[in-house]
Amino acid sequence: MDLAEMSPRALLQTYARILTELTDRGVTRSRNAPVGDIAEYLVRIAYEGELAPPSEKSWDVRAGDGRKIQVKSRLVVADAKGTQQYSPFRSWDFDACVFVTFDAFSYGVLRALEVPSASIQGVAAAVPHVGATAARVHTRTPFLTLDGTVDVTQKLRAALDHLD
């Protein structure tokens, strides 16, 4: 299939079929842009856990050890100089957050960092227009300098191998 030869509408229809197939296979939970669902799927595998119910607002995965894990993800262009924001936190009722950055062209895991909730709270900036408790961090936040941060990149890359 030569994507360059396809019309924009045909590309969208192909994309819709791909999203449906990913949902049918249990890799994603919706037909929305898949990066968030894929990150949660990988964390579930890597942490030998289970996904939170769809209505849960505070955490995404209950790890095999019982911890509640929030998952934030972004697609990034590896050499881009800019920064991108992760979706805001609306509560702090989780033990740690795994921040996953994916290569925008391959969906390969560029980096995955587990950061304790308390450490994130210390660097997150308020987002008043979103809600009183909302706070945000971005892809250039120096997570590795925060107390308790663990690089789990290899763990998530191993989980990604389950998709082959």
Question: Mind listing the pLDDT tens digit for each residue in 41-84?
Answer: 999 999 999 999 988 989 999 999 999 999 999 999 877 777 88
pLDDT reported for residue 131? 66
Over 60: is that where the pLDDT of 132 sits? no
Q: What architecture is the 35-163 domain classified under in CATH?
A: 3-Layer(aba) Sandwich (3.40)
Over 70: is that where the pLDDT of 144 sits? yes
Going by pLDDT thresholds of 50, 70 and 90, the confidence category of residue 135 is: confident
Summarize the confidence of residues 27-44 as an average pLDDT.
Answer: 92
Q: What is the DSSP letter of 116?
A: E
pLDDT reported for residue 1? 83
pLDDT reported for residue 85? 87
pLDDT reported for residue 125? 86
Going by pLDDT thresholds of 50, 70 and 90, the confidence category of residue 30 is: confident
Summarize the confidence of residues 35-46 as an average pLDDT.
Answer: 96
Q: List 73's β-bridge partners, or say none.
A: 100
CA 40 – CA 54 distance, rounded (Å): 12
Summarize the confidence of residues 145-157 as an average pLDDT.
Answer: 97
Question: Cα–Cα–Cα angle for 151, 52, 87, nearest 5°?
Answer: 60
**C-alpha gyration radius of the chain:** 16
CA dihedral 20, 26, 30, 34 (to 10 degrees): -90
